[in-house]
Amino acid sequence: MNHLKTGMLLAALTALFMGLGFAIGGRGGAMIALVVAAGMNFFAYWNADKIVLRMHNAREVDDRSAPEFVGLVRELATRAQLPMPRVYIVDDPHPNAFATGRNPANAAVAATSGLLSLLDRDEIAGVMAHELAHVKNRDTLIMTMVATIAGAISMLANFGLFFRSGDGRSSFVATIAAVIVAPFAAMIVQMTISRTREYGADRGGAEISGNPQALASALAKLAGGAARTRNRVSEQNPAAAQLYIVPPIAREMFSTHPDTGKRIAALQAMAGQFDPPPAFEMPAARRAASVPPTRTRPRTSALNPHRR
């Protein structure tokens, strides 16, 4: 049902783009709009992951630079029957995570240093399982397409303020109405698609990790931490808000995410539905050198290379 709903919303977004093109330039404008949308989606299909990772100054990590974090993602990817994604850390105190890539074979997952410092091991596993669920459901491609078309609608609407086809007052009124209504409608469709995909990723993450309670706990901590910490990327690029597991700015009506409280309640209702995962084992060399958790040394210190 979620896939059908998403497909219908994507079709509505494309129709909205073509309708705006028609309002501005008639039949020719609609065709040009369609060609532009196809070109932008083609570019985004091949380059969106590079753009997103560069935008966050994300650095790739491996078994040598972040062995426990990478090992955790590898274990989750195996449970999800997915290829191992590239793993990144974003040096940012804002606690959040995201996934990107056009398909599972070319996927990347990223977490901020703020998230790795804030959450314990089970909660980090729940978050990364959520991101892998996005990859498995092809949400990374869908949301890239949505953001691209929505951005194109805004661009075309701005163009429409300075150019319109036809003559007469009625044509002028119709064009102005279109350029005002279309971006707002695109934003509503974008939010609806994003919210639908988040619920699906929550359930998929709970199934992959086997621990919906840990993901629910992580969402509560992340929502509180995100509200207290600035996210400079989303402030400069509002379209980035849909990437994250929790909204980077506390908003209600125009949030790209469902209400966090409702997401937590849905996850808590899943308790006991999934088989618990086996213990996540750190590599033997790291296990021998690890320090047992104490009150003064957070459990996440080994997962975050920057913790001392």
283 occurs within a structural domain: no
State whether residue 38 is helix, strand or coil.
helix
Q: Which of 68, 75, 131, 207 is catalytic?
A: 131
Strands 108-112 and 86-90: parallel
Q: Is 198 annotated as a binding residue?
A: yes
Domain containing residue 214: 2-276
- Torsion angle of alpha carbons 152, 157, 158, 159, nearest 10°? 90
**235 catalytic residue (yes or no):** no
Does the structure show a pLDDT above 90 at 217? yes
Please tell me the distance from the alpha carbon of residue 232 to that of residue 99, in angstroms, as a whole number.
Answer: 18
For residue range 130-143, what is the model confidence (pLDDT) as tens digits?
A: 999 999 998 887 77
Secondary structure tally for the chain: helices H, strands E: 10, 4
223 occurs within a structural domain: yes
Q: Which long-range contacts does 110-114 make (Cβ < 8 Å, 24+ apart)? A: 110/53, 110/56, 110/58, 111/69, 113/89, 113/304, 113/306, 114/225, 114/229
pLDDT in the model for residue 119: 96
306 occurs within a structural domain: no
How big is the chain, counted in residues? 308
Q: Is 130 annotated as a binding residue?
A: yes
286 occurs within a structural domain: no
Cβ pair 139, 201 in contact under 8 A: yes
193 occurs within a structural domain: yes
Question: Cα angle vertex 198, ends 152, 114, to 5°?
Answer: 95
For residue range 261-284, what is the model confidence (pLDDT) as tens digits?
A: 999 999 999 988 887 766 555 444
For residue range 75-108, what is the model confidence (pLDDT) as tens digits?
A: 999 999 999 999 999 999 999 999 999 899 999 9
- pLDDT bracket for residue 7 (50, 70, 90): low
Count of other CB atoms within 10 angstroms of residue 27: 10
- Counting the structural domains of the chain, the total is 1
Burial class (CB in 10 A: 0-12, 13-18, 19+), 57: exposed
292 occurs within a structural domain: no
302 occurs within a structural domain: no
34 occurs within a structural domain: yes
